[in-house]
Structure 1
Amino acid sequence: MKRRDVLTAGLTGAGLAGAGLVTTLAAPAVAQTAPELRWRLHSAFPRSLDALYGAAEMFARLVGEASDGRFQIEVAPAPGGESAALLDGVANGTVEMAYSAAYYETGRDPTFALATAAPFGLNARQQNAWMLQGGALDLFNEVFARQKLYALPGGNTGTQMGGWFRREVKGVADLQGLRFRIAGLGAQVLAKLGVVPQGQAGPDLYAALEAKTLDAAEWIGPYDDEKLGLNKVAPFYYYPGFWEGGAMLHFWFNAQKWGELPKPYRAIAQGAAAQVNGDLQAKYDARNPGALRRLVGGGAQLKPFPQEIMEAALKAANEIYADLSAKNPDFKRAYDSLKSFRNEEYLWFQVAEYTYDNFMIRARARG
C-alpha cells in the first residue's frame, strides 16, 4: 500500500494516532473534488534542530503526497526567530499554520502550558494517552478556539534533561539568584525556589552561557543539546527535567481556516499529524543514547538533581496549581483532568511498566 493511500484517511486523528493506522480513501476521489491550496507553516524551531524542524517538513510532505500535490504547505522558520509571536500570526490569519509548543504561550493563558507539559505531570506515553484517549485534546481545543486557534498533537520529546549548569547545585540554597533559561510553568516553580528565569531561544543559549549572562540553561535533551554545543560552556548536566516529563508539540491552525478545509483535507492533515506524532518520539528515543555517550565522553558531568530540590519543587508546583486553579476555571478543569488521569496511569505503570523497566535496568548494570 502506498503512503499516500494510507494518509488519505477518514479518521479523527485521535483513534489511530498511536498505531499509525488509517483507512483508505482513494486519492483520485480527492483530486476530483478538492481545490488547490497553498498554505504557509511557521516553525518555532530553526533548521539546525533537524528533529523539530523536520517534523514540520514531514507533515507538509505527507499532506502534499496524500493530496496529489493539491494541498501544498510551505515550511519556514519563525520570521526573525520570534517564536513567541507565532500563534498571534496564526490567530489573526497572517499565516495559516505554525508548529510550536503550547507552553510558550503560558503568558497568554496558563492553561496552554498543560497541553505541552506540566512540572511533575505526565510522561510522554501518558501525555499522548491523555491527549488522544483521555479527552484532553477536545478540552484544549475548546480553550484554543476562543483565541481563534485549533491544534493537533505533533510529537513528543520524551522526558527532558534538567539542563546545563556552570556550577554544581547541591541544594535549594544553590538556586538563589541563579539565572536559568527555562520556559512554561517550570519557570514559575523554580522562581519560588529563588531562580531568576530567563527566556532566551535555543540558538542563543551558547552565547549567553559563554558570556556568563546565564548561569544555567535547559533545552531538550542530549541529541539537541549536543547540536547547540552547550556542553562546551557549562560542564554540569542535570537530570531529570521534572518540569517536562513528556513535552508535546502541536500543529496549530487558524480555526476559521481549519473549519473551511474540505473534509478530505482535514482527514489528510489529521493522518499526517498522527504519523509525525509517533515519529518524533521515535527519533529522540533512537538518537539520545548515542548523543549522551558522546557528551559524557567529552567531559560532561552527569548529575541527578538532589532530592531536596525535587521535593521543594514538587511542593512549589502544587502551590502554583492550587493558586491557578482558584483563579482560572479552564486551568482547573484541565489540571483536575490531568491529575485524575495521572493517578490512574501510575496505578498501571507501577504494576507492569516500572517493574519491567527496573528489572531490565538492573540486569543491564550487572552485565
Structure 2
Amino acid sequence: MSDIYHKSLNKGIQIFKSLSKLFVMAILLLVFGCQKEEDTSAPFSVVSTNITDGAAQVDVFSEITVLFSEDIDASSVDENSFVVNKGQYSVYGKLTCSGSTAIFKPAKQLADEKQYNCTLTVAVKSKSGQSIAQDYHWSFTSGVEPDLIAPTVNENIPADSEIWVFTDSKIQVSFDEAMDAESITSSSFVVKNGDTEVAGSLTYADKTVIFTPDAELNTGLVYTCIVTSDVKDLAGNALAEDFEWRFTTIPGELKFSEMIQPIFTDQSCISCHGGTQNPDLREAYAYASLVDGNYVNIASPNDSRIIKQLKGRHAGFITQKEENLILEWIKQGAKDN
C-alpha cells in the first residue's frame, strides 16, 4: 500500500511540474509573443535642397530640387503641398517627381534680387504612405539676370569713308553699353596707314574710347581703324567681330575752286552775298572779294574776319567741318587755285 501511494505521489508531482512548465510558457507567449516587432526604419524626411536656406545671388533661371529620404508618392506633390512664394504672390511652375526627387520649374525666370519662400507641407508622402513630420520651410534671394549680349558700336568719328578729315583730329568710338576699360588697349584699338600703326594714347569714359595720335596725321592719306573682338563689356561679353572703318585726311593743299567755293554755293550764301552785300561770294568774285576785302588774315588765320563772322552772327550757316576747311585754307596761304 505504501509503495502504491509513493508511486502515485511521484507521478502526480511530475504531472504538476509538466503542467507548470506549460503554464509558464503560455504566460510568456501571451506577454512577449503577441507584441509587434519594433519599427527601427528612419522616418520619411527631406534630405537636401539644391538651393540652401538663406542662399543669395541665386541664378534667375534656377529650378528648385528637393531630395527625400525615400521614393515619393508623386500624387501627393502638387501646388498645395510644394509651395513657392515671392512675397505675398504665388510663383507658378511645373512640378515633376522621379524616385526620391521632386523638381519645381518656374514658369518664367525669377525676378532680380527678390526673396523667395518655399514650403513642403505634411501632405507630401512617400510611396510607403509616410508623411514628413512637419512642414519644411526654406528661403533664398535671387541674383540678377546675366548679361549675355555682345556690345556693339553706336558711333565712330570720323565716319566710315569720310574724306577731308583734319590731320589734328582725334578718333573716337562710342559703344551701346559700359565697357571693361582694361580690355581697351593698343592691341585692341588700332589706327594705321597701310601696315604702319599710328602711335597714340587711349582714354575711356562714358562708353566712349578716344584715340589721340602722338603727332598730327599726314595729309592726303587713307587711315584704317580697327576695334578688335578683344574689347569686352563689364560682363565679359566681347564684340561679335572686329569693327573696322576708314577715312581720308585733307589734301596737302586745299584747292579754293574745289573745296572752298562749293561751301558758299551749296549753303546758298550767295542769296545774301550775291553782289549786293560784301563779301561777294559768287563763283567769279568770291576769291578776290575775300582776299582784297581783308576777310582773310594769313598772318593770324583765327583772326580772319570771315572766321569771326562764321563764329558770330553767321554761326550755324555752315557746318563746323566746313568752317574748319576755310580756316585750314587760310593757314595754307589762302591760295587762288
TM-score after normalising by structure 2: 0.20
Give the helix-richer structure, 1 or 2: 1
Look at both structures and tell me which one has the larger radius of gyration over its CA atoms: 2
Give the strand-richer structure, 1 or 2: 2
Structure number with the bigger relative contact order (C-alpha 8 A, sep ≥ 6) is 1
TM-score after normalising by structure 1: 0.19
